[in-house]
Each structure stands twice: as C-alpha cells, then as structure tokens.
Amino acid sequence: MREPTQLVDYLEQELSLAPATIQMALKQWQEHRGPLPIILWQYGFITLEQLDKIFDFIETKER
C-alpha cells in the first residue's frame, strides 16, 4: 500500500505536525495497517479535535 501523500501534506501544512512525528506514525501504519489518523491519535500526536479535522479532510477528498 502506498503512503497517503495528500494526507501527509495536510498533516504538515494544515496541522503543522513535525515531519519526524509523521514518519513515526507512518512506520506504525506500515507495520500494523491501522488507519493513520487513529495511529496519530493513539500515540498522542494529535487531539480529538484534530482527529475530527483529519476525518473531515478525508471525507472531502473521497467525494
């Protein structure tokens, strides 16, 4: 499965997550194949509010 490029761009640009944080979450995503937003939240990298924003972004992109 490829890296979710649009989502990574969103995380960096809109939520200002550090590239190292995103890389750590991507490593977990590749190992466990859980949803990347949930992984970010489980590790405490994002808040519930940010998680909602990410899901809104994903929903908008899927339309």
The per-residue DSSP string of 1-47 comes to: ----HHHHHHHHHTS---HHHHHHHHHHHHHH---HHHHHHHTTSS-
pLDDT at 4: 78
Local confidence pLDDT in tens for the 63 residues of the chain: 455 789 999 999 999 999 999 999 999 999 987 899 999 999 999 999 999 999 999 999 877
Looking at residue 34, what is its pLDDT?
A: 84
At residue 3, the pLDDT reads 57
